[in-house]
């Protein structure tokens, strides 16, 4: 995954993009960084145990508690979500932005 992230950074940082808001407006900015969020899911029973374990520990959950809650799971899977970071330090999901191409529109 590190190679993918590095390649995306090399290709996208410095490029301009457009984000079209669901309210009708749009934002034009420049990409300053790429952010990756990993989401992990487990089978239903493990997710219930894990949720119960996490809710007990309001601030942080010790690793051993997480390990115990996930012991015996039937499956786990992960998903990476990529976002671009704008000049204002706002995050936009990569699949919600349009990367501007070289100027092809004529004035």
For the chain, give every domain's residue range.
2-99
Give the DSSP H/E element, type plus range, for residue 63.
Answer: helix 63-70
Q: Angle at Cα 80 formed by Cα 61 and Cα 84, nearest 5°?
A: 110
Per-residue pLDDT of 6-31, as tens digits, reads: 999 999 999 999 999 889 899 999 99
Contact between residue 50 and residue 72 where contact means Cβ atoms under 8 Å apart: no
Q: Kindly tell me if the per-residue pLDDT of 35 is higher than 80.
A: yes
The radius of gyration of the chain from alpha carbons, rounded to an integer in Å, stands at: 19
Question: Is the pTM here over 0.85, yes or no?
Answer: no
Quote the pLDDT of residue 102.
Answer: 72
Residues 6+ apart with CB under 8 A from 2: none
Beta bridge partners of 84: 34, 92
């Amino acid at each position: 995954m590190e190679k993918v992230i590095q390649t995306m950074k090399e290709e996208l940082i410095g490029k301009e993009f457009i984000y079209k808001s669901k309210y009708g407006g749009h934002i034009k900015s420049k990409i300053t960084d790429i952010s990756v969020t990993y989401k992990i899911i487990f089978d239903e029973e493990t997710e219930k145990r894990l949720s119960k374990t996490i809710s007990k520990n309001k601030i942080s959950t010790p690793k051993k508690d997480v390990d115990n809650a996930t012991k015996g799971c039937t499956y786990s899977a992960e998903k990476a979500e990529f976002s671009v970071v704008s000049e204002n330090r706002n995050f936009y999901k990569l699949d919600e932005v349009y990367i501007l191409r070289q100027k092809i529109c004529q004035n």
